[in-house]
């Protein structure tokens, strides 16, 4: 196992003292196994790539094997030597003599998957070292925004961890039960809803549900019921549609949100819950609501003044261990964007980033937004696009924009027929 011919350019080093993690024997064993038994290529091709090999010569050889496979040609000594000769790469890999040596380097061809895992592990370690070195260099330079740097560093680590993960065939018998549940769920909806249902029939008819990768803006003046409406949508998604929901609450604490959800699900006056003045008949409803919400796939983060990089970081960690289908942000203007002299530009950066978050996780992002005070001075209090506070690019970034209006806040007449009714525009 130690009598290997070393091709040119093989001893790459990270410094004069340290050699990056690698296993030459594993690399030679994988390449040799493929030369001896072509079907071995099928066992490793989806798990490793040419970039996972440490030695440049091995990268070239594996790339040649991929090309031969794509041409439906055998990957043996004759075809490989011919290909490398035709592409003027034979000498750079050590010549035909080195290719012959590879076939003698294989302990057992049946262990090719184990050898490929070793190659992949060493590749991940090298990528981590390179990423860490780059991050360290940027930290020493002190030129990057700290939140942005942390976000990019975490994203780089996630990409390394998730890259080239092995996939296997799944027996149909394991897929059918979940598919049957999906059909049942679609049947129960009774509507052509392709996204996350909101629970509001007319809204679902207009939108076909909240669609994956969409940024949905729900805007209104204070006390219009934006948070209540958004929580009702989240509650319906989690309890009825069994969709995982992530709530970023920048205004209310998680305890306040929990109280609101208990009130909504239990159909108990929120004032009773806040003050503890419950009637005997309220307790069964409250207990039932608590039980349902305890099992609901709802996750709440109430960090105030959250920045976009912080939100993306939290979302990645949450999504790595949970199936999230809807993100709720309450509310957009309380978030921190990149440092900017212009608040409108900062809000525009936030809205673009929320759209990017929706696309990254392929989920709808429902973001609440305030409206300008100028609306109050108009005779017609019906909201318009121009009323979006510090709107900037919100109109361009959003896929859907809804306004909520309660006429009773402007018309205090006790005989107002719209009292207690909120209009979604």
- Catalytic center residues: 251
Per DSSP, the residues of 279-333 read -TTHHHHHHHHHHHHHTS-EEEE--TT-BHHHHHHHHHHHHHHS-EEEEEEE-GG
SS3 for 397? helix
Backbone angles phi, psi at 115, to 5 degrees: -65, -40
Q: In what order do the strands lie in the sheet with 423-424?
A: 298-301, 244-249, 324-330, 365-370, 215-220, 400-405, 423-424
Q: Could you please report the per-residue DSSP string of 120-172?
A: HHHHHHHHHHHHHHHHHHHHHHT-S-HHHHHHHHHHHHHHHHHTT-------H
CB of 299 closer than 8 Å to CB of 244 = yes
Contacts with 65 (C-beta within 8 Å, 6 or more apart), sequence order: 31, 34, 41, 75, 80
Distance CA 372, CA 190 (A): 39
Q: Hey, what's the torsion of the CAs at 79, 81, 82, 85, to 10 degrees?
A: 160
**244-249 and 298-301 as β-strands: parallel, antiparallel, unpaired?**
parallel
């Amino acid at each position: 196992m130690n009598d290997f011919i070393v091709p040119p350019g093989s001893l790459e080093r990270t410094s004069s003292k340290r050699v990056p993690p690698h296993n030459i024997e594993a690399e030679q064993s994988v390449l040799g196994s493929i030369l001896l038994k072509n079907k071995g290529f099928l066992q490793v091709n989806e798990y490793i790539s040419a970039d996972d090999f440490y030695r440049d010569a091995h990268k070239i050889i594996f790339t040649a094997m991929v090309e031969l496979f794509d041409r439906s040609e055998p990957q043996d000594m004759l075809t490989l030597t011919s290909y490398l000769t035709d592409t003027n790469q034979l000498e750079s890999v050590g010549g035909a003599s080195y290719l012959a040596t590879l076939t003698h380097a294989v302990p057992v061809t049946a262990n090719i998957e184990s050898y490929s895992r070793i190659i992949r592990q060493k590749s991940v370690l090298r990528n981590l070292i390179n990423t860490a070195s780059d991050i360290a260099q940027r930290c020493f330079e002190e030129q990057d925004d700290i939140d942005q740097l942390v976000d990019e560093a975490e994203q780089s680590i996630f990409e390394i961890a998730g890259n080239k993960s092995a996939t296997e065939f799944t027996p149909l018998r394991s897929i059918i039960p979940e598919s049957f549940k999906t059909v049942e769920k679609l049947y129960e909806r009774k509507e052509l809803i392709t996204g996350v249902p909101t629970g509001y029939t007319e809204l679902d008819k207009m939108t076909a549900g909240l669609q994956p990768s969409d940024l949905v803006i729900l805007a209104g003046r204070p006390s219009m019921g934006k948070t209540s409406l958004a929580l009702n949508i989240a509650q319906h998604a989690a309890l009825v549609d069994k969709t995982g929901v992530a709530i970023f609450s920048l205004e209310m604490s998680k305890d306040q949100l929990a109280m609101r959800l208990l009130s909504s699900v239990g159909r108990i006056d929120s004032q009773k819950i806040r003050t503890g003045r419950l009637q005997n008949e309220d307790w069964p409803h409250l207990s039932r609501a608590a039980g349902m919400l305890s099992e609901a796939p709802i996750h709440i983060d109430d960090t105030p003044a959250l920045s976009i990089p912080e939100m993306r970081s939290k979302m990645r960690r949450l999504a790595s261990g949970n199936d999230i289908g809807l993100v709720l942000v309450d509310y957009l203007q309380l978030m921190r964007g990149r440092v900017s002299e212009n608040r409108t530009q900062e809000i525009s950066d936030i809205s673009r980033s929320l759209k990017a978050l929706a696309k990254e996780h392929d989920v709808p992002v429902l973001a609440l937004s305030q409206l300008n005070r100028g609306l109050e001075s108009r005779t017609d209090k019906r909201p318009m696009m121009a009323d979006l506070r510090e709107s900037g690019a919100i109109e361009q970034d959003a896929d859907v924009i809804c306004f909520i209006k309660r006429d009773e806040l402007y018309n205090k007449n006790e005989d107002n027929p719209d009292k207690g009714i909120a209009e979604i525009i």
